[in-house]
Amino acid sequence: MIEYKKDGWRAAIALAPMVFFMLVFTFWPIINAFIWAFLEDFSYGGKGISHGELDGYRWITGGTFIKVGIDNFKTVLTDGLFWDALKNTAIIVIVSVPLTVILGLAIAVGLNSIKRFQGLYQTIFFLPYVTNTIALGMVFATLFHQNYGLVNKVFKNIGFAWINGTTFTGTSEVTFWTALVVLTAYTVWNGLAFKIIVFLSGLQSIDKQYYQAAQIDAAPRWRVFTKITVPLLSPMILYITITSFIGAFKAYSSVIAVFGTGKYGPDGEPNMMITVVGYIYDKMAIGGTPYGVASAASLILFFIILIITMLQLQVSKKRVHY
């Protein structure tokens, strides 16, 4: 017999520190973002201007504003840069997510099937996970540099010159698509390790008897993969796909890591690879009353991610076997 009352208190005490920090650093900012997005000309910590009766809400909003409305959303949605950012983000999502999921699954299956040096290979594939993101970005930036990047040299020698990914100074030969190649390569590489680990643990938790049964049933390898491995791994695949989508929609540090701080693209094209999170960050950084606009953009991103995640869960209902 469980003593709910006693255990409830214990649970509450154990959870309290986590709940406290979540409330302060996660939930309160989220609530703030919701409120700020609808405040026009909101000034964080703003004094000076008198707003009459609305001043009374300062204890909630932490600043002053003119009125409640949807001006911030209008500003965001009429801003060409926001649409650029959204387009870039969407392309990163569409290209990198399927690529990482498929590659991660393939590598995990490969790793799971080898017997010798499995630990060694696992370590190698896990290295990017424990390597500093910015350091990785610098390596990629160098590898794909338009003048002296190793990748570019190789491609130039065999007659292609289209992977000019980055430039540090001078005139840029970098185009949107070549920059995207570098960014995608980096994103995939950086995200692969975690996915491999998740898939590998998923694979190892599948009962070996299913494979023995399949062997006795004379199932060819590919059928074993598609009819047994993938369905039995489907909860993991769904989890990885959804978290990858969310992660890719929040792409920001990858752009900074590859192209350097303070810009979202190669030299001369500072906004070429700007993402939605980059846009939000920039809005907050510029002067005036930026928090309202940044919050509105955050909310838009939030609802895009929410809708896509819900769609994924809906679509996957029939295909995921728990």
Partner 1 sequence: MMKEASKDIPKRGIFHDRVEVKLQNLTKEFVDKKGKVTVAVNDFSVTIPAGKLIGLLGPSGCGKSTTLYLISGLHKPNSGTIFFGDDDVTNTPPEKRGIGLVFQNYALYPHMTVKQNILFPLENMRVPKAEAQVRAKKMAELVHIGDLMDRKPNQLSGGQQQRVAIARALVKEPRVLLLDEPLSNLDARLRLQTREEIRRIQKETGVTTIFVTHDQEEAMSISDEIIVMNDGLKQQIGHPQDVYEEPINQFVAKFLGNPPINIVPGKLKGEKVVLENGVVIDSGVKQPNQDINIGLRPEYLKLSDKGKIEATVDLVEHIGRDTMLICYINEIGLKIRAIISSERRLTPGEQVKFECSKLFVFNKTTGERYK
Q: Which is nearer to partner 1, 211 or 281 (CB)?
A: 211
Residue among 54, 228, 246, 304 that touches partner 1 (CB under 8 A): 228
Whole-number minimum distance, CB 314 to partner 1, in Å? 19
Angle 63-64-67 from CA coordinates, rounded to 5°: 130
According to the binding rule CB under 8 A, does residue 169 interact with partner 1? Answer: no
Q: Tell me if 218 contacts partner 1 by CB under 8 A.
A: yes
Q: How far is the CB of 121 from partner 1 (least distance, A)?
A: 20
Closer residue to partner 1, CB minimum distance, 9 or 210 = 210
The rounded distance, in Å, linking the Cα atoms of 250 and 67 is 30
119 binds partner 1 (CB under 8 A): no
Candidates 17, 220, 262, 287: give the one binding partner 1 (CB under 8 A). 220
Q: Please report whether residue 225 would count as binding partner 1 according to CB under 8 A.
A: no
User: Does 74 participate in binding partner 1 (rule CB under 8 A)?
Assistant: no
Q: Rounded to the nearest whole angstrom, what is the least distance from the CB of residue 109 to partner 1 in the complex? A: 18
Q: How far is the CB of 111 from partner 1 (least distance, A)?
A: 21
| 232 is a contact residue toward partner 1 (CB under 8 A) | yes
User: How many CA atoms are closer than 13 Å to the CA of 243, on its beta-carbon side?
Assistant: 13
199 or 249: CB nearest partner 1: 199
Task: Specify the pairing of strand 39-40 against strand 43-44.
Answer: unpaired
Question: In sequence order, what are the residues at sequence separation of 6 or more whose Cβ sits closer than 8 angstroms to the Cβ of residue 169?
Answer: 267
β-bridge mates for residue 67, sequence order: 40
CB neighbour list of residue 142: distance below 8 Å, 6 or more residues apart = 149, 150, 166
Q: Cβ closer to partner 1: 181 or 224? A: 224
Rounded Cα gap, residues 289 and 32, in angstroms: 15
153 binds partner 1 (CB under 8 A): no
DSSP of 137-189: HHHHHHHTBTTT-HHHHHHHHTT------B-SSS-----HHHHHHHHHHHHHH
CB of 321 to partner 1, least distance (A): 4
Rounded to whole angstroms, the Cα distance separating 246 from 273 reads 18
Stretch of residues binding partner 1 (CB under 8 A), selected from 32-40, 168-176, 219-227, 298-306: 219-227
Region near partner 1 per CB under 8 A, out of 62-70, 101-109, 167-175, 220-228: 220-228
End-to-end CA distance of the chain: 30
Q: Quick one: which segment of 95-103, 134-142, 197-205, 211-219 binds partner 1 (CB under 8 A)?
A: 211-219
CB of 245 to partner 1, least distance (A): 24
User: What is the sign of the dihedral through the CA atoms of 48, 49, 55 and 61?
Assistant: negative
Region binding partner 1 by CB under 8 A among candidate stretches 39-47, 58-66, 213-221, 245-253: 213-221
Query: According to CB under 8 A, which one of 209, 262, 285, 314 is a site residue for partner 1?
Result: 209
Half-sphere exposure of 55 (CA within 13 A, CB side): 8
Q: How many whole angstroms separate alpha carbon 142 and alpha carbon 126?
A: 22
Burial of 163 (0-12, 13-18, 19+ CB in 10 A): buried
Q: Which is nearer to partner 1, 55 or 217 (CB)?
A: 217
Q: Which residues bind partner 1 (CB under 8 A)?
A: 207, 209-210, 212-220, 223, 227-228, 231-232, 234, 321
